[in-house]
Amino acid sequence: MLQAQSSVFYNVQAGRFPEAMSALEKSAGTVEECEDGFGKSNVKPLLAVEDDDAFRLAKLAALLLHQEH
Mean pLDDT score, 30-39: 74
The model carries a pTM of 0.61
Whether residue 23 contacts residue 8, with contact meaning beta carbons closer than 8 Å, is answered with: yes
Query: Number of structural domains, the chain?
Result: 1
**Cα 35 to Cα 39: distance, rounded to the nearest angstrom:** 6
Spatial separation of the C-alpha atoms in residues 15 and 35, rounded to whole Å? 32
Q: Is residue 56 scored above 70 in pLDDT?
A: yes
Structural domain that includes position 29: 1-68
Is the distance from CB of 45 to CB of 38 less than 8 angstroms?
Answer: yes
Q: Which residue has the higher pLDDT, 14 or 59?
A: 14
44, burial (CB in 10 Å: exposed 0-12, middle 13-18, buried 19+):
exposed
Give mean pLDDT, residues 31-36. 74
